[in-house]
Chains A and B, each alone.
Chain A
């Protein structure tokens, strides 16, 4: 019945319009049997929408999907599964408190009784296909993220899917985890399963893909065969893809780490420091209590940042990064230890006092706490100076001076907004981040904590943000960059600390193989079985 030569999945003329955004514009692509097909494009290029359509979360306005050569309307996630399309989302969908087996049984809707033994056998079968070992009775929440992802892959293949969608699968993994994932991908290919692999990082796409479809602004701008590419040099390949991804804009983003094909070769130079200068910021044996099960708090953390230095903090999400940032900013009390700013103790000062001293914090949760969406951009730029002269006098706001200063900040940080009185919530993610940066990096910043500063931003903004961080350091400031994106830290930092379960488990000088060593530290301090 099915045409064996037909592609595993084919999209024809898929178009999807969201209010104000044409997310997918007449997209056609074909995924062959047993190939790893990479969707490459920066944030906002339309990758996620396309995947949502393919997995039945969103219905396209126009176009059709063909599975095995036959037109197959996908109206719900169930339809997608029944057509043999399984999806692994970027963020874990496992129930942490349930065991692996129970998580897999959650999707089992056939019959009333749970057939546990059959499920156990099926798990062993799928795990063998993937070439991995999974403890069926371990609580999902206790598995390392790489292992959790394998469980998600098993879940996606549970009902015999022949097409697997992986949405930014490496964003949560260590370099070792990525290597393991690549092995799994090879096994999948051997069994004839097609993989759609979504990423915004060029070197990943080149490493895993058979073919790469490049998206820009909702359109397919190129399809490349990696086998053909192997003939040309790495620079040529990179230049060609970057041109496709960015068109006219390619020069603005040329140096961003995401677009380099080889990160290890080209490390950021360690800034030469004035030998006698003491550290601008020093934490000495700082501890903080855990918060609500998500954040383990801090235990005995010490670190020093010198003038002109960019210090990186690596680690999986939820290993105390937020506690570290908030303790330094003054939002959270520490239970032990000392914080020294320019040699003076500051741990008893509150947020605004530290802010005035030049200690700033760029939060990772821009929309959740970085801005007040219902207030205008102008007020958001001065949230941390409420009541201070010259913007407030005798408790009364000086609207004119606020607006004048806001306009000049909007201009110098290139915030794209219709006016300074626009609600901050109406801005795009990148512009919200620029508002936050403008607030924290104005009025004499000296020591700035950046928590995931480029998370979710397009590459042009990413490049701008990283340049601001470098500029701060060049100007005699100091930066602490907390990131789960190892490439970002390798791009920016001279030294990288590794945070695990609230402790600093090691320090790596940036240089050859630094990424791998950071990965080892991230894993080594955790459970031994971790990937």
Chain B
């Protein structure tokens, strides 16, 4: 209400010019997006090189080792496998972030799904045909992820509770429950360390003939394409976009907001849970207690670099997968901890912020922020100016 009055009070005589012709705008927009997406990555790699020099390592050797370990020969297949759970989590986040809903409970949703299928998997693959068992396990993991978002979703839909807090809280509980399951009912009785039984290799996700790339990678790619289609072409996607850009307009035009909140949360949790299935059934085959790869935390910067666009996410996630796969070799050779890769991710985040700040000052148009968030920031700035 107050935002609107501020707008109308200041706006009428300060209208911007009508925008330039659409084609030119498209070109500058596209350039803008490229600049804002690629530049932070390049700057981070550059800053990383300086860091390596400071640590007395040769950056050229380091980055060429990343290339060797992440792409050359058949290493690219390992990178692709590593990308699968990351991509599934990332598109799961895109679905809700588009609607300005912040599902930050991905760790709990992921680990709960992982624990459940690691516990149930060995029985299921022993009794059912392989395809049916794997399909059921995918559904179990997805269902677990979705179910774990239900409470925050209902609270937000019904009482407008802040989902950042509730999903984070549910995440801690989810991680705890997963550990209890692994140490308790799902504990492999034949070993002393707290972990689940290991799936037999021949019962895991089948690979594409001639490669190590398993079906989970294809599931992730299809999910990304499907999510992109739904978000850009369907009424569901448009409703999500309206909710994200302007929740009051959503109510005004008759979008059933509570239902939409719950739906988008469930889809998000489902995709995060399926990431667990792709990772456990495709790569690990079991879960150890206190294992937490925190894929979601590493992938969030890329979700924003890709402007919440599921299609654009694919190259970014692949980039990170290569960096992290090749980084295993490179950090080992350079005698560094693998945590150095997290430093690179942190640098990307840092440079994103810098570019965003510069971009906003120069009014470059597109932004990492969703329109709703931008609107909130802009009106608060206006209000500050008006009261100054």
- A interface list, Cβ under 8 A from B: 18-21, 23, 43-44, 46, 48-49, 90-91, 294, 330-331, 350-352, 355, 361, 363, 365, 367-375, 379, 383-384, 386-387, 392, 395-397, 417-419, 421-423, 426, 428-429, 455-456
Contact = CB atoms under 8 A, between A and B. Distances in A.
Interface string B247-273: 011011111100000000000000000
Contact of B248 (A355, A369, A373, A375): A369
Which 10 A/B pairs are nearest by Cβ-Cβ distance?
Answer: A351-B254, A20-B17, A387-B235, A352-B254, A374-B371, A369-B248, A383-B253, A369-B252, A368-B4, A18-B14
A456 B12 contact: yes
Interface centre among A20, A91, A369 (most CB of B within 10 A): A369
Interface centre among A20, A49, A368, A421 (most CB of B within 10 A): A368
B248 A368 contact: yes
A351 B242 CA distance: 16
B254 to A, nearest CB: 3
A410 to B, nearest CB: 14
Contacts, number: 121
Q: DSSP class of B's interface residues: helix, strand, loop or mixed?
A: helix
Given A418-B19, A418-B22, A383 B234 contact: no
B362 interface: no
B371 A363 contact: no
A384 B22 CA distance: 26
A102 to B, nearest CB: 18
Contacts of A379: 238
Nearest to A391: B235
A95 to B, nearest CB: 12
A355 B242 contact: no
A396 B22 contact: no
B319 interface: no
B14 A19 contact: yes
Contacts of A374: 245, 371
Contacts of A361: 252
Given A46-B13, A368-B248, A375-B245, A386 B371 contact: no
Nearest to B387: A93
B77 interface: no
Contacts of A395: 234-236
Given A18-B13, A429-B8, A351 B22 contact: no
Contact of B255 (A20, A44, A90, A386): A386
Contacts of B249: 368-372, 383
B347 to A, nearest CB: 30
Contacts of A370: 249, 252
Given A372-B245, A372-B246, A386-B235, A355 B254 contact: yes
A456 B235 contact: no
Interface residues on B, range: 35 or more
B246 A350 contact: no
A367 B7 contact: yes
A361 B11 CA distance: 24
A69 to B, nearest CB: 29
Nearest to A350: B254
A331 B15 contact: no
14 contacts: A23-B14, A331-B254, A350-B254, A365-B1, A368-B1, A368-B3, A368-B246, A374-B371, A383-B253, A384-B254, A386-B235, A418-B18, A421-B22, A429-B15
A91 B371 CA distance: 28
B241 interface: yes
Contact of A375 (B9, B13, B234, B241): B241
Interface centre among B7, B14, B236, B245 (most CB of A within 10 A): B14
A395 B12 CA distance: 38
Contacts of B236: 395
Nearest to B241: A375
Contacts of A330: 254
A370 B239 CA distance: 15
B54 interface: no
Contact of B238 (A43, A386, A455, A456): A386
B190 interface: no
B288 to A, nearest CB: 43
B133 to A, nearest CB: 32
Contacts of A371: 249
